[in-house]
């Protein structure tokens, strides 16, 4: 299918690379893989070439994980967010028809984060905010999750601007890695990302944040980080053991928020049965195609999606129209013939 939109696609900057702590990288990733990823993170031209080959029209780009979230000093976090957003602005100007971006937000300083969201999302090409998991407020385990800090001003600004928030994985804190100790290869995207991020999303559902900001929309990658499969069991057990929402900070059941405040992308999880299960749980109007470039190959993700035996209208919806609508991209409607590569 031509004309796809992908939205968990990443870039980096030299300043961000300077912050990135490479400790453990060699354990987890092969050296050739890491070098190839770094090369592609820094060069938007390479991204455009892959988009062309994979039939991807527009990518919504974001600073690679952990990005601003891992910076301990609030002033430096503000500086990195601004530098990253300015870098994104520059490659969006070079390729105005191909790129949009999620703003990086320095949540270490909530007022500065609101200002940065307002400055970026307020002006058009930035279409939301991407947060890489918990945020450092100090060294080591001195962090906060999105439901813990007084972030209502940030949520309020996102809701006011209609800016969806992409909750992207970050590695679990060292104290929460006992269960995988001895297996460093499980520390990142192969395993730990999903339980870290799904837990973070569940915290948000149970926190009451969606009661205060009912229009807030959160996007999860990797087919929902396991939640489409596990949420029905969690809901069942809460209903059985905890009398549903009794004693909860939230007014409604988690399944309500999942159905009304969450969206799911296919990033890095190109497997048809889990994909169909995710559609079944959250609905096709909340599913969006993505790749997770450059950690995944656009060719591979695009080919999986294009070759899937799925009704063409559904493919067009998930491959393009849902993102076009949620992020107000203003893309022209694409006929099924044009999406199939005929007459476009
Ligand atoms: Zn990613």
Domain residue ranges of the chain, discontinuous segments joined by +: 4-330
Q: Name the 3-class secondary structure at 13.
A: coil
Residue 331 is given by DSSP the state: P
Task: Determine the distance separating the centroid of ligand 1 and the alpha carbon of 247, expressed in angstroms.
Answer: 35
The pLDDT value recorded for residue 123 is 80
In this prediction, residue 342 carries a pLDDT of: 60
Structural contact between residues 66 and 24, judged by C-beta atoms closer than 8 angstroms: no
pLDDT at site 68:
96
Given a contact cutoff of 8 angstroms between Cβ atoms, the answer to whether 265 and 8 are in contact is: yes
Residue 113 structure tokens: 């984060």
Residues noted as catalytic: 292
Taking the centre of ligand 1 as the mean of its atom positions, its distance from the CA of residue 111, in whole angstroms, is: 26
Let me know the angle formed at the C-alpha of 203 by 202 and 209, rounded to the nearest 5 degrees: 105
Fold held by 4-330: TIM Barrel (3.20.20)
* Alpha-carbon span 291 to 315, nearest angstrom: 15
Burial bucket for residue 25 (CB in 10 Å: 0-12, 13-18, 19+): middle
The rounded Å distance from CA 198 to ligand 1 centre is 14
Question: Which tokens hold the place of 220?
Answer: 């999860």
- Give the Cα separation of 246 and 242 in Å (integer): 7
Give the pLDDT means over successive 10-residue stretches in the chain (344 positions): 97 88 59 88 96 97 95 96 97 97 98 97 92 94 94 97 97 92 93 97 98 98 97 93 82 96 98 97 98 97 97 96 97 81 54
Buried b (16+ CB within 10 A) or exposed e, 189-221: beebbbbbbbebbbbbbbbbbbeebeebbbbbb
- Residue 343 has a pLDDT of 45
Give 38 Cα–ligand 1 centroid separation in angstroms: 14
Cβ(37)–Cβ(88) below 8 Å: no
pTM recorded for the entire structure: 0.95
């Amino acid at each position: 299918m031509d004309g796809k939109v992908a939205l968990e696609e990443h870039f980096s900057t030299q300043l961000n690379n300077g912050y990135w702590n490479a400790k453990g990288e060699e354990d987890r990733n092969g050296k050739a893989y890491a070098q190839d990823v770094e090369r592609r993170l820094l060069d938007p031209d390479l991204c455009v070439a892959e988009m062309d080959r994979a039939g991807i029209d527009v990518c919504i780009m974001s600073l690679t994980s952990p990005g601003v979230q891992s910076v301990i000093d609030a002033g430096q976090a503000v500086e990195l967010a601004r530098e990253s957003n300015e870098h994104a602005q520059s490659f969006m100007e070079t390729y105005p028809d191909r790129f949009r971006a999620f703003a990086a937000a320095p949540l270490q300083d909530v007022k500065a984060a609101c200002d940065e969201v307002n400055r970026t999302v307020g002006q058009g090409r930035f279409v939301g905010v991407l947060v890489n998991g918990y945020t450092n407020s100090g060294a080591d385990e001195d962090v906060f999750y999105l439901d813990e800090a007084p972030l209502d001003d940030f949520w309020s600004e996102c809701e006011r601007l209609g800016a969806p928030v992409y909750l992207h994985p970050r590695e679990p804190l060292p104290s929460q890695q006992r269960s995988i100790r001895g297996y460093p290869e499980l520390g990142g995207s192969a395993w730990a990302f999903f339980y870290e991020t799904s837990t973070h999303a569940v915290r948000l559902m149970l926190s009451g944040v969606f009661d205060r900001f009912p229009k807030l929309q959160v996007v999860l990658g990797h087919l929902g980080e396991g939640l489409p499969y596990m949420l029905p069991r969690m809901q069942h057990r809460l209903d059985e053991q905890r009398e549903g929402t009794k004693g909860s900070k939230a007014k409604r059941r988690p399944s309500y928020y999942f159905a009304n405040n969450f969206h799911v992308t296919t990033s890095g999880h190109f497997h048809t049965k889990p994909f169909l299960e995710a559609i079944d749980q959250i609905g096709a109007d909340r599913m969006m195609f993505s790749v997770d470039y450059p950690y995944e190959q656009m060719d591979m993700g695009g080919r999986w999606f294009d070759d899937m035996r799925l009704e063409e209208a559904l493919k067009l919806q998930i491959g393009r129209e849902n993102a076009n609508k949620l992020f107000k991209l203003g893309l022209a409607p694409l006929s099924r013939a044009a999406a199939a590569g005929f007459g476009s």
